[in-house]
């Protein structure tokens, strides 16, 4: 904006200077005509420079078609980030102009991402790179296609499909209506309104522990309504089922057939035994306010659902409640959340009633049926003006923990907690979005190679680390 004002002042000064020169003497008619011609040329040059600066300034005001950690909207992924301006911070650097990818009212986009992994993983004995050891390795993360519909600002919709190594699934698929007052209705596979935003309190590729028990970035099939009332943003939703299982390997005894999905849900495990979501209600209220120089979003969430037992298991139920606060001071953002969840199940004598099979990414494991989850993150958004090849960097530090209630059937030992701490940064450069981070955990499947360090009984409770670099190119 300062640059635009400078060019405007330059035009005025030029005009005044030339105009004064016209009256400084008694020029001839030819001299006057020449001075007018020079004035017109200089004015045209200044206007062209002003237009270039305006175009450059506008180029920084386009939303990304995919992820950007501090944005909040409906097409995210556990690789952190979102696609619209819902709950966005004041200052967001946009990656590129989506108008380049429009087909009528539909914006087409996508991404391809790859991970470099190094950490506490066992060697395969080859001496060459293996998963996370022997110097680490590169893996394909995902390929995705996005289609965003916006027809005359009333008919809206989103679709996103993802491909991974050996399986694929629908991430988002909804059609909606936007009213003149801003209220929206979405019907289809959409994000469940629970917690402060799409990814809970997290900015990192790993998310926080809410995600792994189905309480952040959870996609289900149903109808959601969002509206603003005064300083409040209110969401209400009814879901008929999860996002469904898509294409993937069945695994031994059909164990993974129901887990080819994006977000964690109760699933059917080996021999078809397990649970499926069968009706769920959600409510979320967020109050936007300011105090002590801070901008704050204060909110609460409630979730109640029914579980359909399969393979001989009786039906069950679940509920979860959460309180959260997001504070912003300049480019600093502090997010806090505390949640309690309870899956009430009876396996009818077939196993531990304090573990529920939950699956995603074509893999299923037992998760503690009851827990308390505190989570906190601190991040700083820095727009880089000094380097042409780097747009912004967002360093962050995060911590979350699943504090469990339950005992292991075989040993009688109390379940052990599952903590996750992540330190890293997200880098935006043109169409590239890169995460560099180190995660430490004593109970997360994706950190380290100990299979007994998990979201269930977690009796090993082994602390492990993983260095992860995620390279994402968005188009």
Which residues of 179-315 form beta strands (DSSP E)?
Answer: 184-191, 219-229, 232-242, 265-266, 274-291, 294-310
* Separation CA 234–CA 282 (nearest Å): 11
Q: Which residues, at least 6 apart from 124, have a Cβ–Cβ distance to it below 8 Å?
A: 130, 131, 133, 134
Q: What is the mean pLDDT of the chain?
A: 84
pLDDT score of 257: 84
pLDDT score of 254: 82
| Ordered alpha helix ranges (H), 23-69 | 29-59
Residue from 63, 108, 350, 72 nearest 200 by CA: 72
**Percent of the chain residues past pLDDT 70, beyond the cut:** 80
Tokens of 318: 């679940």
Category of 216 on φ-ψ map: left (φ > 0), alpha (ψ -120 to 50) or beta = beta
Question: 379 and 69 in contact (C-beta within 8 Å)?
Answer: yes
Q: What b/e string do you get for 34-47 counting C-beta neighbours within 10 Å, with b at 16 or more?
A: eeeeebeebeeebe
Category of 211 on φ-ψ map: left (φ > 0), alpha (ψ -120 to 50) or beta = alpha
**What number of CA atoms fall less than 13 Å from residue 69's CA on the CB side?**
30
Residue from 62, 65, 63 nearest 475 by CA: 65
Q: Which residues, at least 6 apart from 180, have a Cβ–Cβ distance to it below 8 Å?
A: none
Q: Which residues, at least 6 apart from 344, have a Cβ–Cβ distance to it below 8 Å?
A: 316, 317, 318, 369
- pLDDT-derived band at 203, boundaries 50, 70, 90: very high
Task: Give CA torsion, residues 227, 229, 230, 231, to 10 deg.
Answer: -60
pLDDT score of 152: 94
Question: 425 and 437 in contact (C-beta within 8 Å)?
Answer: yes
Tokens of 87: 């709950």
- Per DSSP, what are the bridge partners of residue 366? 357
- pLDDT-derived band at 375, boundaries 50, 70, 90: very high
pTM of the model: 0.79
Question: 447 and 464 in contact (C-beta within 8 Å)?
Answer: yes
Residue length of the chain: 475
Lowest mean pLDDT among 86-95, 369-378, 443-452: 86-95
């Amino acid at each position: 904006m300062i640059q635009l004002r400078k060019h405007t002042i330059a035009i005025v000064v030029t005009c005044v200077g030339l105009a004064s020169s016209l009256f400084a003497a008694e020029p001839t008619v030819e001299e006057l005509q020449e001075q007018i011609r020079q004035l017109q040329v200089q004015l045209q040059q200044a206007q062209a420079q002003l237009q270039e600066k305006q175009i450059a300034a506008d180029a920084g005001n386009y939303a990304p078609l995919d992820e950007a950690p501090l944005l909040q909207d409906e097409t995210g992924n556990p690789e952190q980030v979102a696609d619209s301006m819902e709950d966005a911070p004041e200052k967001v650097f946009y990656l590129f102009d989506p108008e380049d990818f429009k087909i009528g009212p539909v914006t087409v986009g996508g991404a391809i991402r790859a991970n470099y992994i190094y950490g506490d993983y066992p060697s395969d004995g080859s001496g060459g790179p293996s998963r996370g050891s022997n110097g680490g390795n590169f893996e394909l993360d995902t390929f995705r296609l996005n289609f965003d519909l916006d027809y005359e600002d009333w008919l809206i919709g989103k679709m996103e499909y993802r491909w991974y190594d050996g399986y694929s699934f629908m991430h988002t698929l909804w059609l909606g209506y936007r009213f003149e007052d801003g209220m929206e209705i979405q019907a289809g596979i959409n994000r469940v309104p629970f917690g402060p935003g799409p990814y809970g309190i997290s900015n990192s590729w790993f998310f926080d522990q809410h995600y792994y028990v189905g309480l952040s970035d959870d996609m289900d099939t149903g109808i959601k309504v969002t509206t603003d009332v005064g300083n409040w943003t209110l969401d209400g939703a009814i879901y008929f089922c999860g996002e469904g299982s898509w294409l993937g390997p069945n695994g031994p005894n059909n164990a993974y057939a129901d887990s080819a999905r994006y977000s964690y849900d109760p699933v059917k495990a080996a021999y078809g035994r397990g649970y499926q979501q069968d009706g769920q209600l959600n409510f979320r209220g967020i109050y936007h306010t300011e105090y002590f120089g801070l901008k704050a979003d204060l909110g609460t969430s409630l979730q109640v659902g029914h579980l359909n037992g399969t393979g001989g298991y009786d039906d069950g139920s679940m509920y979860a409640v959460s309180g959260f606060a997001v504070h912003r001071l300049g480019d600093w953002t502090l997010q806090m959340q505390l949640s309690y969840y309870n899956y009430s199940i009876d396996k009818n004598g077939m196993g531990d009633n304090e573990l529920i099979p939950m699956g995603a990414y074509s893999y299923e494991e037992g998760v503690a049926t009851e827990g308390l989850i505190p989570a906190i993150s601190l991040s700083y958004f820095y727009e880089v003006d000094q380097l042409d090849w780097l747009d912004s960097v967002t360093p962050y530090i995060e911590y979350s923990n699943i504090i469990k209630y339950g005992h292991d059937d075989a040993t009688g030992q109390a379940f052990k907690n599952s903590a996750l701490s992540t330190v890293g940064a997200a880098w935006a450069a043109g169409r590239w979005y890169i995460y560099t981070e180190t995660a430490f955990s004593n109970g997360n499947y994706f950190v380290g190679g100990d299979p007994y360090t998990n979201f269930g009984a977690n009796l090993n409770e082994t602390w492990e680390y993983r260095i992860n670099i995620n390279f994402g190119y968005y188009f």
